[in-house]
Amino acid sequence: MNAKNSIFQYLKPYSALFALGLLFLLLSSLLSLSFPLLLGKLFGAGAALEGSLDDVQNTFILLIGVFGLQAMFSFMRIWLFSMVSENALANLRQVAYKKMLSFPLDFFHRNKVAELSSRMASDVSLLEETFNSTIAEFFRQIIIIIGSLCFLFFMSIKMTLVMLGTLPVMILIAVFFGRFVRKISKETQNQTALANTLLEEALRSILVVKSFVSESFEWAKYKKTTDFAKQLAIKNSLWRGAFVSFVLFCMLGSVVFIIQYGLHLKLSGEISEENFFSFLFSSIFIGASIGSLPEFYAKIQKSIGASDRLMDILSQPTENMLWDTPIQAIDCHKDLILQNISFTYPARADVLVLDNISLCIERGKTTALVGASGAGKSSLLQLIMRFYAPNSGGIYLGEESIAHFSLWDWRSQIALVPQEIALFGGSIRENIAYGKPNASEAEIIDAAGQANAWEFISQFPEGLDTFVGDRGVQLSGGQKQRIVIARAVLKNPSILLLDEATSALDNESERLVQGALDTLMQNRTSVVIAHRLSTIQKADKIVVLEKGKIVEQGTHEDLIQKQGAYYQLYHA
C-alpha cells in the first residue's frame, strides 16, 4: 500500500456514512442549480412586465422552499462528513501512536521526538480540516459547475461555448500550480515541525539554557527557523493569490463578455428574456464555483503533502510485537547464554561496539559488568532487552533463542533500571505502579519501602498522590532514582537489569538502597553495571569489558589476585 492511498484507508470503516454524506452533498448541490433558473424566471417576468403577481409570489414561495431544503441538506452533509472525519482521524491518531510505540529504539535515535509530536499535531489537524470541509466543498463546486453547464447547453449552445473558451487554459495552470503549491507546503510543514522541535527541546532543557545564559542563542535559532517558515508561507500565499486572481479575472471577464454577447442574442430574438437571466445567473454561479476551486485545490494539495510525510513515518518497520497476545510465562529458571555476539549500532555501522562476546549469565545469580565508558556494558543490556539484534551470534535462554519469544512475553519477565532516570509527569503513585498497574496501595507502599523511598514520600502532604512534574522535576535526583527502583521492585521480575542504579544517590541513600537491591537480587538472575566497584564486590561473577571484548571474568577476590584489568580499575 503506497503512502498516498493509505491515508484513505482510515475512511473505509465509515464508507456508508461517507456515501450518505455524498448523497446529501449531491442533493444540496442540485438544489443550488435551481437558484439561477428560479431567479431567471422571477427577473424575466418582472423585466417583461408580463408575469402576474401570482406567478411572482409562487416563484418566491418556491424559492423559500428550496432554501429550506437546501439548509436541511447542508446540515446533514456537514454533520455526516464531520462524523466520518472525526472518527477516521481519531483512528489515525490511535494507530499512529500505537505504531510509534512499536518502533525500534533506533528509530527514536534517528528522529527527534519533538518533531514526531509536531507531525502528530499539525499534520493531522491539517487533514482534519480537509476531511471535514475542503473535500466536500471541492466536489460540491464541481457538481455545480457540471450541472450548470448542462443547463446552459439547453438554453444556448453558442453562449456556453463562448464561456467554456477560458477553461482549458485555467485547467493547465491549475495542474502546474497544484504541484508547485504541494512542494512549497511540504517545505513549510517541515520548517514548522523544526521550529516546534527547537521550542520543545529548549523548554525541556531550560535549566541548561539558563545556566549557560543561552536564551539569546536559542531565541535566535527559533527566530531563524520561523522566519524561513514565514517566508515559505508567504511565497505559498503569493502564488495561490496570483492564481486565484488570474482565475477570477478570467471568469469575471468572461461573464462581462457573455452578458454583452447575450444581450446581442436577446435583441436578435435568439434567446428569451427568462432564459437570458437564467443563463446570466448560472454563469455567475459557475464563475463563483470555478473561482473557489483553486483555493480548495491548493488546500487539498497541502494536505497531501502533510499526509505524505505522516505516511512516510508510519511506513517505517516496527518491532515484532503482538499487542493482543496474552502474556505467556517463559521458564526463566535457566541460564542466559550470550554466544559469539558482535554488534554495531545501525547509525554507526563502522564502529564495532561488541566483538565476539561469549558469556554465561547464571540463573538466580548476580553478574556484574565493569569497564571504562564505551566498553559496551549498556549495549549488552540493550541486546538482552532486545532493543537491538546482534549482527552475529545469538542470545539463548537455556537452549532456546530469545528471538523465538514474542517481545511482549520476553520483556514482561525483565525489569530495567536505566542510567537515565525516566519519570512520567503524573503522581508518585502512578510512576511506581507503572511496574504493575493493578497493584494495591499496600504493594506500592511496600515497594517504596524496599527502595528506601517511603520515608520521603510519607513526608509529602499528598503522599503517593504528590505530583512529580515534567520528568520528575519536582524531586531530587536521589528521590527520582529511588522511585524508579521501587517501580522495578513492584514488577517482581525474573531477570533484573541495573544500569548504574545507584548513581544518583548520596552515600547514605546508596547504602540503604543497595541493601534493598541485594534483597531483590536474591534468587533472581541479575545483571548489574556499576562504576562504583564497591557496590558489586559481592557479585557471583564480575565481567571486565575493554573496547567491546571480555578481558577478565571471575569473583572479586579472584580478579584482585590476578592483578589485571579489574585490579587496575579497582585501585583507580
Q: Which domain holds residue 265?
A: 3-314
Q: Is residue 113 part of a domain?
A: yes
For residue 359, the SS3 value is strand
Q: Is residue 86 part of a domain?
A: yes
In a domain, residue 447? The reply is no
Q: State the CB neighbour count (10 A cutoff) for residue 488.
A: 24
Q: Which residues does 88 contact at the CB level (< 8 Å), separation at least 6?
A: 10, 11, 13, 14, 131
Predicted local distance difference test score (pLDDT) of residue 38: 67
**Residue 390, in any domain of the structure:** no
Whether 521 maps to a domain, the answer reads no
> Is residue 111 one of the residues assigned to a domain?
yes
- Cβ proximity of 300 and 135 under 8 Å: yes
Instruction: Determine the pLDDT at residue 524.
Output: 85
Q: Please work out, in degrees rounded to the nearest 5, the angle formed at the alpha carbon of residue 524 by the alpha carbons of 513 and 562.
A: 80
C-alpha cell at 235: 511565497
SS3 content of the chain, % helix, strand, coil (to 5): 65, 10, 25
For residues 346-366, b (16+ Cβ closer than 10 Å) or e, as one string? eeeeeebbbeebebebebebb
Distance CA 147, CA 139 (A): 12
- Rg value, the chain, Cα: 35
* Ramachandran class of 325: left when φ > 0, alpha when ψ lies in -120 to 50, beta otherwise: beta
Q: Cell digits for 150?
A: 448542462
Q: What is the dihedral of CA 329, 318, 93, 491, to 10 degrees?
A: 30
Report in angstroms the alpha-carbon separations of 43 from 149, 226, 247. 21, 54, 28
Residue 110 belongs to some domain of the structure:
yes
Residue 28 lies in a domain: yes
- pLDDT for 328 equals 57
Question: Residue 260: which CATH number?
Answer: 1.20.1560.10
Number of domain units in the chain: 1
Which residues partner with 291 through β-bridges?
Answer: none
pTM: 0.67
Q: How far apart are CA 483 and CA 452, in angstroms?
A: 9
How many whole angstroms from its chain centre is CA 346? 23
Listed residue (338, 388, 385, 372) closest to 496, CA to CA: 385
Q: Write down the pLDDT at residue 163.
A: 63
**Cell, residue 460:** 509529602
Mean pLDDT by 10 residues, the chain (572 residues): 57 84 83 70 53 62 78 85 84 81 81 74 76 77 77 71 63 64 68 73 67 73 82 77 69 68 71 69 69 69 72 77 56 88 87 91 91 88 90 90 84 83 82 86 89 87 85 78 86 87 68 73 85 80 90 89 85 76
Q: Of 115, 128, 295, 500, which residue is the catalytic one?
A: 500
pLDDT given for residue 48 in this prediction: 47
C-alpha cell at 274: 427568462
- Whole-angstrom Cα distance, residue 178 to residue 296? 10
Residue 357: what pLDDT?
92
Region of residue 550 (phi > 0: left; psi between -120 and 50: alpha; otherwise: beta): beta
Beta-strand ranges (E) seen in 418-490 are none
First-to-last alpha carbon distance for the chain, in angstroms, is 58
CA distance 274 to 38: 9
Q: How far apart are CA 244 and CA 174, in angstroms?
A: 10
- Cα–Cα separations (whole angstroms), residue 466 to 39, 469, 504, 562: 69, 9, 21, 50
- 362 annotated active-site: no
**What is the reported pLDDT for 2?**
43
Summarised one tens digit per residue, pLDDT across range 361-395 is 999 899 999 988 888 898 999 999 888 889 999 99
